[in-house]
Structure 1
Amino acid sequence: MTTQLPDWFRTLADGVTPLRATDFPRTVRPNGAGRDGAVLVLLGAGESGPDLVMIERAATLRDHAGQCAFPGGGAEPGDDGPAGTALREAAEEIGLRPETAEVVAVLPELYLSVSRFNVTPVLAWWREPHPVTALDPGEVARVARLPIAALADPANRFRVRHRSGYVGPAFRVDDMLVWGFTGGIVAKLLDLAGWSRPWDESRVEPLPPDV
């Protein structure tokens, strides 16, 4: 681990080390199912403290259209493992310069049954932040750096209920609704880093009908 990590990131990095797939709501894939992929969980030091890079997927996509997510996508033969996939996808989607981000930990592979992807979250420290933007409007509608303080604010936390019966953690920050796979990862990271504050877990809202 680099000695240049800020203290708040070091606490998070220490916390993710013992994680297993079963520590998350979505677990191990069925035998032989799905395509491999990775997402970049990129944290930097923003103007108001630590923040997290998020994208809003284009509304025209076949899978997870219009949803908030981490930059990422499917693995390609030339990728150097999940970290290589996550950094390449972030470069293609939002213009991230890979040399400005330092991979700190590779989390357990998680299976998304809806899109049949085996997704590996890759935790990275954005040591040299620079402007990023949606490079392909057909894939990414928006890029945002969401402050950790806003994500941890009890007023912005609740649970959502999908019409399928799924109920899980959610956040509403800067007009972005973070839920599902991404919301579960964010909730876990807030707990591990000690950023979580007491919030009303009985607050459950239905997802919008177009989700």
Structure 2
Amino acid sequence: MTAAIERDGLPEWLLPVRAAAESVLPEQLSRFLPPTEGGRPSAVLMLFGEGAAGPDLLLLLIERARSLRAHAGQPSFPGGALDPEDGDPAGPGPVAAALREAEEETGLDPTGVQVFATLPALYIPVSGFVVTTVLGWWRRESPVGPVDPAETGAVFRVPIADLTDPANRARLRHPSGYTGPAFEVADRLVWGFTAGVIDRVLHYSGLEQPWDRSRTLALSEEALQLTAPDRQRDRGSPAPR
């Protein structure tokens, strides 16, 4: 079965996501907003697809290599800092950067992606990045996988049905004392900035299901060891939602 296609070539189920992205305010996404000065412009790609079984809603995520100095081992969206050739951070730069980084990290063919919205830029205190999340529809799929194992540990797709399943939802307690959304999916724990963006997109697009917000998880010892360099740089600032 193929999902119904509505205006602009998007499947019908993506229209509420686009509507939410076009109307949401930065403070509705996170309490960590870009500083008036400073911060390194960057972008990530939140890529929606559809599985072979029909209207399965999927996201493309990567797992950062455990050898990296920042955010090691954490599931995240493909992305990175803007390069000069990407263009103006206030213009086309974030879209160009998100697609370029996704291609470099996963082998994704960017010509098969239809960008349909961007979210307001948010701030990651631990790295100093000002991040624009670019939303794309994977209208023509291409093979994906880690291009450089030293940078990308794994590439995986997660059905949104799994992300919205209340059994997979929790709050994660960060060593700083801050708690934020988390998802137990694909034998991984998705948390931090990535989980926060997913949580807010599900909420404001009406895809979220009621879940137990009192359920709280803690990082494993292995994850704590991997995040130690981040916490040392951050000197106690909480992990972004």
Same fold (TM over 0.5): yes
Question: 5+ residue gaps in structure 1?
Answer: none
Indicate the residue corresponding to 1:6 in structure 2: 11
Indicate the residue corresponding to 1:205 in structure 2: 217
* Alignment partners' CA distance in 1, 2:134 and 2:118: 5
Deviates more, 1:23-32 or 1:3-12: 23-32
Indicate the residue corresponding to 1:53 in structure 2: 60
Contact residue 26 and residue 112 of structure 1 kept, 8 A: no
* Alignment partners' CA distance in 2, 1:169 and 1:175: 17
* Alignment partners' CA distance in 1, 2:30 and 2:118: 18
TM-score, length basis structure 2: 0.84
Indicate the residue corresponding to 1:108 in structure 2: 120
* Alignment partners' CA distance in 2, 1:28 and 1:160: 21
The answer to whether the aligner puts 1:62 opposite 2:69 as a matched pair is yes
The answer to whether the aligner puts 1:96 opposite 2:96 as a matched pair is no
Superposition deviation, residue 208 in structure 1: 1.5
Partner deviation per Cα, 1:30-72 (whole Å, 9 max, x = no partner): 2322211000000011134110000000001111000010000
3-state DSSP of counterpart to 2:183: strand
3-state DSSP of counterpart to 2:198: helix
Contact residue 75 and residue 85 of structure 1 kept, 8 A: yes
Determine which structure has the larger helix proportion and give its number.
Answer: 2
Taking only aligned residues, the RMSD between alpha carbons, in angstroms, comes to 1.3
**Sequence identity percentage:** 48
3-state DSSP of counterpart to 1:151: helix
* Alignment partners' CA distance in 2, 1:116 and 1:15: 26
Q: For the pair shown, which has the larger CA radius of gyration, 1 or 2?
A: 2
Partner deviation per Cα, 1:102-133 (whole Å, 9 max, x = no partner): 11011111110001101100011110112200
* Alignment partners' CA distance in 2, 1:51 and 1:181: 18
* Alignment partners' CA distance in 1, 2:57 and 2:35: 36
Q: State how many pairs are aligned.
A: 211
Indicate the residue corresponding to 2:194 in structure 1: 182
3-state DSSP of counterpart to 1:210: helix
Distance 1:191 1:134, change over 3 A: same
Q: What pairs with 1:129-140 in structure 2 (closer than 5 Å)?
A: 129-140=141-152
Superposition deviation, residue 2 in structure 1: 5.2
TM-score, length basis structure 1: 0.96
Determine which structure has the larger strand proportion and give its number.
Answer: 1
